[in-house]
Amino acid sequence: MNLIPALIGSGAALASGGVLIAIGAAGSRAAALIALIAIAAFYPVFAFDAPDWGGRIAHLAGLAIFAAAGVVCFRRKPAWLALIIIIHGVFDLLVGHESANAPDWWPPFCAAFDVTFGLILYWAWRREPDL
């Protein structure tokens, strides 16, 4: 894994999470759901720049799976929403390098962002009784 993109991804997540905490928006699970869907949407964007329809469909399916999991977690078990974001980071490491037209730095950047951001959200929510 390329260390510089991973460090930048973690730094971006710390900054993003820090802003959410500072303005009191970290408790908004809706913001976390939107972030998850936006994060998962990058691979289909990269895939649509490639000529392979199979890759496009696979990445759209991945987006649909992460979005659906996020919606279910949002409604039933919010702490799992942070876990789904972390799982997307693991997904980045496992299959991100195979993504059509994604820059080489993207998988480590996104993986580090996702894992760090998911941990920040979980930490921010840890005292809420319905998690």
Q: How many residues does the chain have?
A: 131
Provide the pLDDT for residue 70: 93
10-residue mean pLDDT profile of the chain (131 residues): values are 91 94 83 90 82 82 92 87 93 74 87 95 77 53
Radius of gyration, CA atoms only, the chain: 15
What's the rounded Cα separation, in Å, for the pair 32 and 39?
10
Provide the pLDDT for residue 131: 53
Provide the pLDDT for residue 43: 80
What's the rounded Cα separation, in Å, for the pair 96 and 90?
9
Provide the pLDDT for residue 29: 83
* Domain spans in the chain, listed from the N-terminal domain onward: 3-125
Provide the pLDDT for residue 5: 95
- Confidence (pTM): 0.88
